[in-house]
Amino acid sequence: METRKTVRLILRPWALTDAEAVYEQARNPKIGAMCGWHPHASVSESREIIEHILHKPHSFAICLEDNQAIGSIGLLFQDDSNLPLSDHEAEIGYWLGEVFWGKGYTTEAVQSIVAYAFEELSLVRLWAGAYQKNIPSQRVLEKCGFYPHHTEERFFSKPTGETHRAVIYVLEKA
């Protein structure tokens, strides 16, 4: 898995040395509340999350040109997605530190990972689940060409055990 560059961003594999940068953003409860996980409680918890969850194939740190991690984007496959995925499909997920919201960064990152999924991994379909109240995430998906497929009343989050009403989006390879 190689580092990817966009106009303003570097998408690169995670490193344990990103723990402080992750904690700085992911301790903010507004992020986990939309992703279905609890806010990170310490730098060491962020380090464990990097080690066990983020540091894997098809999972990227979103960085500005100074290479500091400001967010996360990646693909989940049949084994680790909550959605009933087929072969050649994946679920895309992402978050960004709050001070960086509203600048189009996530849209830029999603567009790059869509190209990666379809061109390099030869996937044919991408899915994403956004809580119904999460309008910014739905805007990101729509700006990237995804369209709403159906609404799931009880979209389950393993880390919190909670369910939320979510809009499930899909994007077919052109």
Interface residues with ligand COA (CB under 6 A) are 31, 34-35, 94-96, 101-107, 130, 134-137, 139-140
**Residue whose CB is less far from ligand COA, 21 or 31:** 31
**Residue whose CB is less far from ligand COA, 19 or 106:** 106
Query: What minimum distance in Å lies between the beta carbon of 18 and ligand COA?
Result: 16
Query: What minimum distance in Å lies between the beta carbon of 143 and ligand COA?
Result: 6
- 145 φψ region: left (φ > 0), alpha (ψ -120 to 50), beta (else): left
44-74 as b/e: b if 16+ CB within 10 A: ebbbebbeeebeeebbbbbbeeeeebbbbbb
Query: What minimum distance in Å lies between the beta carbon of 25 and ligand COA?
Result: 9
**Residue whose CB is less far from ligand COA, 14 or 94:** 94
Query: What minimum distance in Å lies between the beta carbon of 63 and ligand COA?
Result: 13
Are 126 and 171 in contact by the 8 Å Cβ rule? The answer is yes
Tokens read off for 162: 């909670």
- Concatenated DSSP letters of 154-170: EEE-TTT--EEEEEEEE
Query: What minimum distance in Å lies between the beta carbon of 79 and ligand COA?
Result: 20
Number of other residues whose CB lies within 10 A of the CB of residue 120:
12
Phi, psi (deg, nearest 5) at residue 55: -80, 85
Residue type at 12 in one-letter notation: R
**Residue whose CB is less far from ligand COA, 22 or 87:** 22
**Residue whose CB is less far from ligand COA, 123 or 167:** 167
